[in-house]
Structure 1
Amino acid sequence: MKRPEILSPAGNLEKLKFAVDFGADAVYLGGKLFNLRAKAGNFTLEEMAQGIEYAHKRGVKVYITLNAFARNDDFKSIEKFVDEVKELKPNAFIVSDLGVLSTVKERAPEIDVHISTQANTTNYRAVKVYRDLGASRIVLARELSIPEIRRIKEEVPEMELEVFVHGAMCMAYSGRCLLSNYLSYRESNKGACSQSCRWKYYLVEETRLGEFIPIEEDENGTYIFNSKDLCALPVLDELVSAGVDSLKIEGRVKSAYYVAVVTSVYKRALNLLLSDKELFKKELPTLYSELEKVSHRPYTLGFLKGGDEILQHYETSSYIRDYKFLGIHRGNLWDVRNRLEVGDEVEVFTPSANVLKLKILGIYVEKKGKFVPSGAANPNQRALIEFDREVEIPENSLLRRREVKTPSLSSV
């Protein structure tokens, strides 16, 4: 089996660095306009230059999202954006609109073009058309099964195939949705989705205003459009054997902690799979449990196994957040992100996805250039932390604390 890349989200410069440091082979990011994550921090041109330089120095590729659906009046701005960004030498533009595709090919022919999942490519003939138009990669529609993905690769082996393996899913076909436009006047196809599908709905009969009738699938079932989150880790071996070239993680609006943990887990799983398949299977439950320690909705395989399971989560649109991110290790210090205290039982998550379980015995916070004893450390402080045993903690390791009892894991 050939090695696919791990492709991670970079909602801002800090998240890009987390993705790179925790094992991403490539990252994708957007500018301030014309990408489908308007609520992500996104990048100014200067930040984009810094991010591309940081990634390229470490052998990591950078793809620029330009995947909003354009209108006539958008193209002057799009042309200017392409002209400016191409000078930074990204590895590819990700587009969904045919007009944007032609613009990129005309103004930046030296840069690869990837076709976004928004183009909802579901068959090999469409892949061949995009190949003939000059695209080098297709981000396949999330509605495809693994056998369908394999068939596309067999029919068009020269085309790179990118598949989402983790993160939030949209109830609309390939993300093409108008709910947000109608209910909150925010255009989802230009990146401003208000996630109206996550709302809790009631019915109101025309002549009985004020009488709200719950919509029930069962006693909890009013979140009728609310999709579960995708987690393809249990079928990673099948995706790799199908010939997938890029394993894509969703989450440009997620936290830096999410980006780091998910990237690291998939990278370690891929390394195990390609070196020792039996060891991969043995370690799979442990790696899966790490993915339950980031903010997520209940997981699903989506359509990868045919879509026979229930893909909607009816009970609530809230995330499961059992762990709190406390800080990141820099040299021998910790950059504190959330309050931590002496006596806390914590975990250190390393860039290689190893976990150390420790207890905090002492905290020394920085004040006026000195480190003084303290019972706690607060966000934005730097601290020295004494644990209950001496361990070597790698650079960029993450500190976290379990906030609630984690439910027992279902078998993988």
Structure 2
Amino acid sequence: MSITKTRPEVLAPAGTLEKLKVAIDYGADAVYIGGQAYGLRSRAGNFTFEEMAEGVAYASAHNAKVYVAANMVTHEGNEKGAGEWFRTLRDLGISAVIVSDPALIAICAAEAPGLAIHLSTQASATNYETLEFWKNLGLERVVLAREVSVEELREIRQHTDVEIEAFVHGAMCISYSGRCVLSNYMSMRDANRGGCSQSCRWKYDLYDMPFAGERKSITGEVTEEFSMSAVDMSMIEHIPDMIENGVNSLKIEGRMKSIHYVSTVSNVYKAAIDAYLESPERFEEIKPALVDELWKVAQRELDTGFYYGTPDENKQLFGARRKIPEYKFVGEVVDFDAETMVATIRQRNVITEGDQIEFYGPGFRHVETMVKNLRLAETDEHIDRAPNPMTLLHIDVPFAVKAGDMIRKNGSGLINLYDKKTGLAKTVRA
């Protein structure tokens, strides 16, 4: 079967209604959310049915879709009420549910006909025979396991026409997709039923335990306590491989991330797709700017996961940070007066007169300026520093901005460089 190159959707995480709207405004073609049952993110600000209805209405008005993650592994009794729940999602206009448990798949197919089902990455689909199996059961899309390589992706695409959704950005699981029980043992919280305590990201003590001797903690004698955490995935420089191999949906992880993260990453991947489909040369031209943009938002270090080989010890989080983001999210534009050139902004972090700031907006728009004539919006009183989040402020700007534009400021401007030989870091100015 030949590979048909299509325009992939940008699928963004939306932990709250605010994040849903921001993701769509910043280029997401679809968002995935959690409901108050059957999901794997118990602390992600999961949606009520009323919030889902508002989210679907907003998405529909912007030609976007809303998917609901219902990807928990059910134990006896967990499946009760699932049929009614799936019917409610269908009737609200949810475009698809993302499911891993065969029992929930069967219930949804039987009791909520018309609601599309996507197979969750929790089901660990890694070959085309598996995709064909789920296709024969009526599923139209499969989210591949994160362990699939680009070579395997190409082979899968050549042998099946099932829609393929693949992760391109965000956190990696140190365990095999959908198979981790570490949290169950370490904190009695079931990772596969929404309670993961992320035990792999804890800092563990390290002991010297000679045979038949007492154990001795060597904390402080090594550069850092042991951690099992992988660096995050980023495929921004390899979007051509995803498009040329027929991926239908590029998935961004992070339903618990901030609106700064959601807006930035959605904006970047939308711009990458647009550039490559315009021409490969245009993509190569814009690629450095795309990478730089991603490093303006708080995240872990980045690599390509399993796409180009099995990650080694250098793809783990240990020792000093090898690179850190340089910018801090400080606010968003709520209004702009074109006559006076005054922007009304909602503050999110400390803003000080004289700060160097950057406005960014949908369509990969960026402009920089300095904070001048900082005032409280309510009284128009001039202030030197605004320390309280959610305060409405006025600032003068030398260019037009739009409601919904985000604002960041250049922070320390420092990058930590990790020296593998010494295990130490040195800090240099970016």
Superposition pairs of residues 18-33 of structure 1, within 5 angstroms: 18-33=22-37
One-letter identity of the residue aligned with 2:359? V
Superposition pairs of residues 142-153 of structure 1, within 5 angstroms: 142-153=146-157
Which of 234, 247, 250 aligns to 2:250? It is 247
What's the counterpart of residue 293 of structure 2? 290
Q: 1:316 to 1:200 in 2, by over 3 A?
A: farther
Superposition pairs of residues 68-87 of structure 1, within 5 angstroms: 68-87=72-91
What's the counterpart of residue 113 of structure 1? 117
What's the counterpart of residue 155 of structure 1? 159
What's the counterpart of residue 50 of structure 1? 54
One-letter identity of the residue aligned with 2:355? D
Superposition pairs of residues 5-404 of structure 1, within 5 angstroms: 5-157=9-161, 159-204=162-207, 205=209, 211-213=216-218, 219-220=222-223, 222-309=225-312, 310-315=314-319, 320-332=324-336, 333-367=344-378, 370-377=379-386, 378-387=388-397, 390-404=398-412
Alignment RMSD, CA only? 2.3
Name the CA distance, whole Å, in 2 between partners of 1:322 and 1:131: 45
Moved more, 307-316 or 72-81: 307-316
One-letter identity of the residue aligned with 1:189? N
Q: 1:110 to 1:202 in 2, by over 3 A?
A: same
Q: Identity of paired residues, percent?
A: 38
Q: Is the 8 A contact 1:296 1:319 kept in 2?
A: no
**1:401 match: secondary structure:** strand
What is the TM-score with the length of structure 2 in the denominator?
Answer: 0.89
Q: 1:3 to 1:408 in 2, by over 3 A?
A: farther
**2:306 match: secondary structure:** coil
One-letter identity of the residue aligned with 1:382? L
Q: Is the 8 A contact 1:19 1:260 kept in 2?
A: yes
Name the CA distance, whole Å, in 2 between partners of 1:193 and 1:241: 35
**2:377 match: secondary structure:** strand
One-letter identity of the residue aligned with 1:86? R
One-letter identity of the residue aligned with 1:329? V
Structure 1: gaps spanning 5 or more residues = none
Q: Is the 8 A contact 1:223 1:316 kept in 2?
A: no
One-letter identity of the residue aligned with 1:126? T
**2:153 match: secondary structure:** helix
Name the CA distance, whole Å, in 2 between partners of 1:225 and 1:316: 15
Q: 1:215 to 1:150 in 2, by over 3 A?
A: farther
Name the CA distance, whole Å, in 2 between partners of 1:239 and 1:215: 43
Q: Is the 8 A contact 2:301 2:322 kept in 1?
A: no
Name the CA distance, whole Å, in 1 between partners of 2:40 and 2:226: 24
Name the CA distance, whole Å, in 2 between partners of 1:207 and 1:59: 67
Q: 1:102 to 1:237 in 2, by over 3 A?
A: same
**Deviation digits for residues 186-236 of structure 1 (CA, Å, limit 9, x no counterpart):** 1111121111111122245597777324599xx536434110000001111
One-letter identity of the residue aligned with 1:154? Q
Name the CA distance, whole Å, in 2 between partners of 1:372 and 1:28: 42
Name the CA distance, whole Å, in 1 between partners of 2:116 and 2:273: 25
- What displacement does 1:276 show? 2.0
**Deviation digits for residues 340-361 of structure 1 (CA, Å, limit 9, x no counterpart):** 1111111111222232121011
- What displacement does 1:319 show? 9.8
**Deviation digits for residues 130-161 of structure 1 (CA, Å, limit 9, x no counterpart):** 0011100000001011111111111002x100
**1:128 match: secondary structure:** helix
Name the CA distance, whole Å, in 2 between partners of 1:259 and 1:221: 31
Q: 1:316 to 1:362 in 2, by over 3 A?
A: same
Name the CA distance, whole Å, in 2 between partners of 1:283 and 1:23: 17
One-letter identity of the residue aligned with 2:30? A
Name the CA distance, whole Å, in 1 between partners of 2:113 and 2:414: 51
- What displacement does 1:87 show? 1.6
Q: Is the 8 A contact 2:323 2:415 kept in 1?
A: no
Structure 2: gaps spanning 5 or more residues = 337-343, 418-430
One-letter identity of the residue aligned with 2:15? G
What is the TM-score with the length of structure 1 in the denominator?
Answer: 0.92
Pairs aligned (count): 403
**Deviation digits for residues 22-47 of structure 1 (CA, Å, limit 9, x no counterpart):** 01000000012211111211111111
